[in-house]
Amino acid sequence: MNGKQNIIITALVHRFGGWGLLLLTLTLGVFLGYYAGNWHVLALHEKIEQQQATIEQLYQRAETFDYQQHIATVELGIERAASKNLQHELLIAQDENFALRREITFYQKIMAPELEANGVVIDSLELQPNIAENHYHFRLAIVQMERLRNLTKGQLAITLHGRQNGEAASYDLLNLANIEAKDRQFSLRYFTVQAGDFVVPDGFLPERIDIEVSISGSNQKLSRSFFWSRLLQRRNTPANASNT
């Protein structure tokens, strides 16, 4: 009986062995496909969670930017309001300044007509010593007094007066400052400034600086004198008093 049973089992294995192998292969394929699909689903879930976290961060950044933009808008509004107030105050100050200048011009035409011509005045002269001995820096301002200003042209001359070897002497200060002839001419609207550095000649004792301005198209000339000692005394004060 045992021999017959072995023969029968062997026959069955030979007969159905191919189908069993196929069934085993299909089973393994289904198993692997299930786990592969499950792994892919898990990977997708993880990617979605990362994207959601990124979206939340972007929303937070957007809220922060909106808040900062709101603060910036408020600050800009405050600055604009302050700027408008400053502009208004500046206009008021300019009007007051023009009114004062008109009064000064009126009295100046009576008391010192040589200081004003065609609405132009020699406003100020500043003098500062440089580090080197006998080296100085000057700054001259010429201003239009009229509210409605047209282009004004003219020519400038500056003379340095003093004493040398006990006798009166004078020098062209613009020559001392190496300012060429073409740079002594000016065109101004509102104001113009002439500045430079010069060296006082050896043995020369400065006493006075004379300014002379010739206005083109007019026979009038402006002239004004500044005393050397007073210019040096006033160089650290906030405002210079006039010397005529």
pLDDT digits (tens, 9 = 90+) for 119-163: 678 888 999 999 988 999 999 988 876 655 677 788 899 999 999
Amino acid at 81: A
How much is the pTM? 0.50
pLDDT of residue 220: 74
What is the C-alpha to C-alpha distance for residues 187 and 182, in angstroms, rounded to an integer? 12
Structure tokens at 118: 């065609």
Q: What are the pLDDT digits (tens) for 171-180?
A: 999 999 999 9
Residue 95 has pLDDT above 60, yes or no: yes
Q: What are the pLDDT digits (tens) for 166-205?
A: 899 999 999 999 999 888 988 877 788 889 999 999 999 9
- Binning pLDDT at 50, 70 and 90, where does residue 243 land? very low
pLDDT of residue 209: 95
